[in-house]
Amino acid sequence: MINYTERITRLMHDVVARTPALSFIDLREVLVFGRYGRPEAEGAFATCHCLTLPESEPGYYFWRDRDTGELTRRSEWFVTKTPEVRRDGTRIKYLISFVLPRFCEQTLERSWKAELYGDVDPWVAKLDTIVHELYHIDPAATGIRQVLHADGTRARGTHAPEFYDNVAAMTKQYLASRPEAELFDFLACDFAELHRRYGGVMATTFRNFPSFPQRYMERAALPVETGAGVKIEPLKRPGQPSLYTERDLHVRQFTGAAARRVTEPFSLQQSA
Ligand SMILES: [Zn+2]
Cis, bond preceding 54 (omega within 30 deg of 0): no
For residue 132, the CA-to-ligand 1 centroid distance in Å is 6
Ligand 1 centre and the CA of 42: distance in Å?
Answer: 16
What does the pLDDT look like over 229-261, one tens digit per residue? 888 988 888 888 999 999 999 999 999 888 888
Percent of the residues in the chain that have a pLDDT greater than 70, as a whole number = 90
Q: From the CA of 153, how far away is ligand 1's center (Å)?
A: 19
CA of 2 from ligand 1 middle (Å) equals 26
| Distances from the Cα of 78 to the Cα of 54, 85, 148, 221, 235, angstroms | 14, 21, 33, 8, 8
For residue 213, report the distance from its CA to the centre of ligand 1, in Å.
19
* Predicted local distance difference test score (pLDDT) of residue 261: 87
252 CA distance to ligand 1 middle (Å)? 25
Q: Cα separation of 143 and 138, whole Å?
A: 6
DSSP 8-state code for residue 205? E
**Measured in angstroms, how far is the CA atom of residue 65 from the centroid of ligand 1?**
40
CA–centroid distance, 163 to ligand 1, in Å, is 9
* Residue 89: predicted pLDDT: 94
pLDDT at 266: 46
Measured in angstroms, how far is the CA atom of residue 160 from the centroid of ligand 1? 10
Crossing angle (nearest 10°) for helices 161-176 and 124-135? 120
Note whether 176 and 120 are within 8 A (CB). no
Q: SS3 for 71-140, per residue?
A: EEEEECCEEEECCEEEECCEECCEEEEEEEEHHHHCCCCCCCCHHHHCCCCCCHHHHHHHHHHHHCECCC
C-alpha 116 to ligand 1 mean position (Å): 16
Residue 238 preceded by cis peptide, ω within 30 = no
Q: How far is CA 12 from CA 23, 30, 61, 133, in A?
A: 11, 10, 41, 10
DSSP string, 138-196: -TT-SSBPPPBPTTSPBPSSS--HHHHHHHHHHHHHHHHT---HHHHGGGG--HHHHHH
pLDDT at 122: 97
pLDDT for residue 42: 86
pTM of this structure = 0.87
**pLDDT the model gives residue 269:** 42
How far, in Å, from the CA of 181 to the mean position of ligand 1? Answer: 26
Q: How many Å lie between the centroid of ligand 1 and the Cα of residue 148?
A: 15
Q: Which residues of the chain have pLDDT under 50?
A: 152, 265-272
pLDDT at 271: 39
